[in-house]
Amino acid sequence: MRNNIKYIAGLLTMLLLFNPRPVWAAGPPAPSIFSNPLAVTFIILMLVLLIVIGILANIVIGAADVKLKRRLALKTDKAAVLLVMMLLSSTFLLAQGTGTDTVTSGTKSIAGMESSTFYIMVTVLFLELLVIIALLINIKFLLKQEKAKLAAPVTEEEKVIAEKEKANHLSWWDRFNKLRPVSQEAELDLGHDYDGIRELNNRLPPWWLYGFYLCIIFAVIYLWRFHVSHTGPSSKEEFETSIARADQRVKEYLKKKGDAVDENTVKLLTAAEDIAAGKAIFTDPSKCPACHGADGGGNAVGPNLTDDYWIYGGNIKNIFKTIKYGTNKGMRSWKDDLSAKQMAQVSSYVKSLIGTKPANPKDPQGELYKEEVAAPVADTAAKKPSM
């Protein structure tokens, strides 16, 4: 049916594109088929009704049984071909009627068309309407049959058969697990009843059994690898290895960042920009001046940083450590507020305050600390005896 509809649509397209026209020896060309509004209207109606017929025919054939489908398809094909032939003949007559400049006195015309053409086109439209009505009646008849089937009483035998089919029907999951239908529970009953709960002899699902077997194999391999042959690292060794790798990544990151200094590797910075950066941090009112004063002379809380007496050591490493971790006597930790490089700059600036003269210096606290000066290397060349 669908192929016939495509064939009909192709014929109509060819008809509209290549409309037959009479040949004139002289004079203007014949007027187009679309020059007559009534003819155009009739052609459009024919096409629309033909499409409706095709849709309804497909519905009827789809709802009918196999034998009826064949008969309906054959009848529909014949009716479609007949309608197309009549449509072609009517349009051909329309072309002939509108293609003459002069109409003989004996020829009658209706709305600019020959009467025969007009009547043929009207007949085609009427036949199409009849076919549509017939298809609608068939659809109504098929719907009535379906309703009758649904409303018909079901016999006991049919109910039993339906219940058995339903009980024996298993989903794909049940079939995969090799489960038995509910109708076979009596064969699986082991006779053990616990408060209404019956024990059935159902086998375990294959996925559970295979998973259990895999767990046993994995446990044997794991026991041999980590506790017998010791070819694999223990959990403690894995932890220590991961910590070492993490420390190494941190060191590499800090090295790339230029901030890889701590209390063990810090060195005294003497560059002017480092001392200036340390001074800017130290003199910030929210940081060191609150306890040590802006000039480092100390106050009631913090000690004097300009003399040679130190409570926690006076070398650069001790000062860095004190700034980083703080003390238990009021000095807070700055490791979360300052970077390692900033703490090294502040430590170097504090070292530069030694020997300065603050306005109100606090009395010395702690122990005297003197910076160790490296001994000069002896000139061995001068002591070498001359020859």
> Do both 138 and 10 map to the same domain?
yes
Residue 215 lies in a domain: no
Residue 298 lies in a domain: yes
Residue 241 lies in a domain: no
Residue 229 lies in a domain: no
Mean of the per-residue pLDDT values of the chain = 75
Whether 124 shows a pLDDT value over 60: the answer reads yes
What does the alpha-carbon distance between residue 340 and residue 232 come to, in Å, rounded to a whole number?
A: 39
Range of the domain at 339: 272-368
What does the alpha-carbon distance between residue 293 and residue 46 come to, in Å, rounded to a whole number?
A: 104
Number of structural domains found in the chain: 3
Amino acid at residue number 311? I
Identify the CATH number of the domain in which residue 295 sits. Answer: 1.10.760.10
> Do both 120 and 60 map to the same domain?
yes
Phi, psi values for residue 193, rounded to 5°: -125, 120
Average pLDDT of span 91-114: 54
Task: Give which of 350, 267, 342 is closest to 307, Cα–Cα.
Answer: 350
Task: Give which of 74, 81, 87 is closest to 13, Cα–Cα.
Answer: 87
Residue 211 lies in a domain: no
List, in sequence order, the alpha helices (H) in the chain.
2-17, 37-63, 66-98, 115-151, 156-168, 172-176, 185-188, 206-223, 235-257, 272-282, 289-292, 316-325, 340-352, 380-383
Q: By percentage, how much of the chain surpasses pLDDT 90?
A: 19
Q: Model confidence over 9-27: pLDDT tens digits?
A: 555 554 444 444 444 444 4
What does the alpha-carbon distance between residue 204 and residue 179 come to, in Å, rounded to a whole number?
A: 9
> Do both 12 and 44 map to the same domain?
yes
User: Mind giving me the DSSP string for 308-361?
Assistant: SEESS--SHHHHHHHHHH--TTSPPP-TTTS-HHHHHHHHHHHHHTTT---SSP
Q: Model confidence over 308-349: pLDDT tens digits?
A: 899 998 899 999 999 999 988 888 899 889 988 899 999 999
> Within 10 A of 190 (CB to CB), how many other CB atoms are there?
9
> Do both 92 and 172 map to the same domain?
no
Confidence of residue 106 (pLDDT cuts 50, 70, 90): very low
| Per-residue pLDDT at 211 | 92
Minimum mean pLDDT range among 148-157, 182-191, 370-379: 370-379
User: Mind giving me the DSSP string for 159-187?
Assistant: HHHHHHHHHH---HHHHHTTPPPGGGHHH
Q: In this structure, what token pair is assigned to residue 321?
A: 């450590």
Amino acid at residue number 97? G
> Do both 122 and 193 map to the same domain?
no
> Do both 26 and 72 map to the same domain?
yes
Q: By percentage, how much of the chain surpasses pLDDT 70?
A: 66
Q: Model confidence over 193-241: pLDDT tens digits?
A: 888 888 888 778 888 888 999 999 999 999 998 889 888 888 899 999 9
Burial class (CB in 10 A: 0-12, 13-18, 19+), 97: buried
Higher pLDDT, 61 or 294: 294
> Do both 293 and 342 map to the same domain?
yes
Average pLDDT of span 264-293: 91
> Do both 9 and 28 map to the same domain?
yes
> Do both 66 and 130 map to the same domain?
yes
Average pLDDT of span 54-75: 64
> Do both 125 and 166 map to the same domain?
no
> Do both 122 and 191 map to the same domain?
no
Residue 302 lies in a domain: yes
Residue 210 lies in a domain: no
| Per-residue pLDDT at 244 | 94
Identify the CATH number of the domain in which residue 138 sits. Answer: 1.20.120
Minimum mean pLDDT range among 206-220, 244-258, 280-294, 332-346: 244-258
Average pLDDT of span 129-155: 79
Residue 76 lies in a domain: yes
**How many whole angstroms from its chain centre is CA 325?**
48
> Do both 42 and 136 map to the same domain?
yes
